[in-house]
A and B are shown apart, each in its own frame.
Chain A
Amino acid sequence: MKNSWREALIGLCLAALPVAAMFVLVVLPAFEGLRFSLGYVPGDNPAYSTGSHLVTSSTPTLEVYRTLLSSPFVQADLRLTLTVTLFTVLLILLVGYSLALLVRFGPGRLGAAVRSLYLIPMFVPVVIAAYAFITLYGSRGWLDALLHHVGIGYRSPIYGIPGIVMGLVWSHLPFATLLLGSGLDALPEEQVEAARDSGAGFLSILWRIILPLNLTPTMIVAAFSGISVLGSYTVPALLGPNAPQMVGVAMEQYFGAYRQPQGAVALAMITFALAAAIGALYVWGISRTRRHG
């Protein structure tokens, strides 16, 4: 009894350090950010107090959020962010599943090739990848030159929404495929065999056995890539249109280019709320699966 108490205490002490570090480095600044976005301008923090167009108030006010959300410019940014997040997650799932299925069920050589290729994006820094996309798919890039030779016209998608989605899908694929693949590996072979023996086609096996049994990894991939895409910065900063922008880019612009830290912090809070909503969906989904599973 005494021993288990001591072990618990040691465990708590060990856990306390990272928790304390997180509290100081993440929770406190986030709290100060929240207060700032509600109109409390901290006089002793020049990074905040030297901003332009500050809303200063001694009682909490939603003025900053009102101004932001009523701007058609910010509305367009949020619409773009949600659209890109939705399409990117769907594409990640679609492509990730296809690759994972190829690895698990594909013919020997193809499966092996995919298995070694799909991890590549993980080892290429996103910035390099984004520039590679520009060189390859950009206007007067390689693809353009190639198509020009065979007489096909080309309009580069790279500085439009498709450019952002392409870049984000590419960079998120390894993680998604890895996770979906490990879920597929855990599927009981017998069930698939039994279904095959009783004459079920691949699609019905996929729909009735594989997808339902692999629901948890699927939800993990959807939630984690959703949150990561929502707050992404590098890919949308380098690819995509001048405007509208993903919120990650807009946030940085408010902070740096427009010198409006209050707007940046408020955008961060909005992004946090959206990410929390995805997280809540995920928790709800997981708890449902557990109950039914």
Chain B
Amino acid sequence: MKKKAVSALARAAVLLSVLSIGGVRAQSAVTLNFYSGGDVNVQDLWANNLIPMYKKVAPNVTINLVWSEHGAADQATFDRLAAAKKAGKVSGVDLWESGMVQQAGEAGMMAKIAASDVSNLSKVPPTIIQQVGSYGLPYRGSSVVLAYNSKEVSSPPRSLPELFDWIKKNPGKFTYNTPDTGGSGHAFVERVLMSGLPQDQIKTFQTEYKPEMVSAFDKGLATLKELDASMYQNGFHPKGNVGTLQLLAKGNIRMGTVWSDMALSYLAQNLLPPEIKLVQLEPPFSGGAAFLGVAADSPNKAQAMAFLNWLLTPEVQAVVINKMNGYPGVDWKYVPTETRTKFADIAKSYSIGFQERFGADINKLWYEKIAGTPMPASK
């Protein structure tokens, strides 16, 4: 999620029209430079759905989408914000959709988003916002679920212990992707680690960061290592969320963790055979939100916040869910009933992943303790 291309800072023009969205009154035409990135489906959502929709509600706000495939320019946008801050100039970035909003926020480059600016924020589960230190607004989400081949597996596991049991009884038929290359693998790793933590500490791991707490993961890591011997090719992990989906499609594995939105889209495009079914465990795998932040130096903060508020309205959330086969940014109860019924199978909450810095530490621990430690039973 990022982009780089420079966009013209065409703001100016004073139209004395009055518009009011979400209680904000803007008096002049403004252009919001919106830096975003992701896969083509996200680009399509913004360019062909949301931005044209917003033009109708707020005709004098122009949203200039600066797109970067797969967020490959995130670091460049970060550097641009940092350079502007250092030089005391305006970066030209108004809105930024990225996994890096918290990191940028901690460096003083993103504005905190409060319910006083974005009234619909109250509809968002607070822990999700705390996860990024209030520097980003979750406007859509997705959850990791278990995908299985219903021709080979008649009764899929419904809980973590059942899943462990299945993996051990069906060696070579399960895998997850490396945790740093895709959230579906990361969610499996975090779910297993979470199962080894004292229950009363889990919230701390989700919202705070204390480096010394990392040792609490040892129990979960031991479980992961033990499971690894029974995984696909004695512990080979594909790269990226797509890697797991491809192994499922080719029949190399019978079960794996996937993002619900990706799997549903793949099924719709016949990239996965119809016998692949999805199921959520109890307690659920973690999900994640896509976060949108407002640059601290944006001269158009009020308009940017108004745009964020509009994104959380029920009609917009319904479009997001339908387009992305995903989860809303707001709690499901604020989603129109029709949409909720359509996605009844997955319209449940997801659990929250660990705080981002723990996530980074977990990636490293995984490479050191799981992939990087030889296994007696391995090839």
Please list the residues of chain A having a beta carbon within 8 angstroms of any beta carbon in chain B: 44-47, 49-50, 52-53, 71-73, 76, 139-140, 159, 237-238, 241-245, 253, 256-260
Contacts and interface: CB of A to CB of B under 8 A. Distances in A.
B103 interface: yes
Nearest to B235: A242
B239 A238 contact: yes
B361 A258 contact: yes
Contacts, number: 70
Contact of B106 (A50, A72, A73): A50
Interface in B267-322: none
B237 A242 contact: yes
B69 to A, nearest CB: 13
Contacts of B340: none
Interface string B104-117: 10110100000000
B163 interface: no
A257 B363 contact: yes
A259 B78 CA distance: 14
Given A140-B250, A242-B367, A52 B360 contact: yes
A72 B371 CA distance: 13
Contact of B107 (A49, A71, A260): A49
B180 A256 contact: yes
B25 interface: no
Q: How large is the interface on B (under 10, 10 to 19, 20 to 34, 35 or more residues)?
A: 20 to 34
Interface string B61-79: 0000000000000010011
A208 to B, nearest CB: 44
Interface string B354-379: 00110011011001100110000000
B126 interface: no
Question: Is the contact region of chain B dominated by helix, strand, or loop, or is it mixed?
Answer: helix
B198 interface: no
A139 B252 contact: yes
A242 B78 CA distance: 29
B180 A253 contact: yes
B367 A73 contact: yes
Scoring A49, A71, A242 by chain B CB atoms within 10 A of each residue's CB, the highest score goes to: A242
A46 B104 contact: yes
A180 B326 CA distance: 55
A242 B180 contact: no
B266 interface: no
Contact of B103 (A50, A53, A242): A50
Across the A-B interface, give the 6 residue pairs with the lowest CB-CB distance, nearest first: A257-B180, A46-B107, A243-B371, A243-B372, A259-B360, A242-B371
B211 A52 contact: yes
A139 B379 CA distance: 15
A159 B236 contact: yes
B82 A244 contact: no
27 contacts: A46-B82, A46-B107, A47-B75, A47-B82, A49-B107, A50-B103, A50-B107, A52-B357, A52-B361, A71-B368, A76-B372, A139-B252, A140-B251, A159-B233, A159-B236, A241-B371, A242-B237, A242-B371, A242-B372, A243-B371, A244-B372, A253-B364, A253-B367, A257-B360, A258-B363, A258-B364, A260-B360
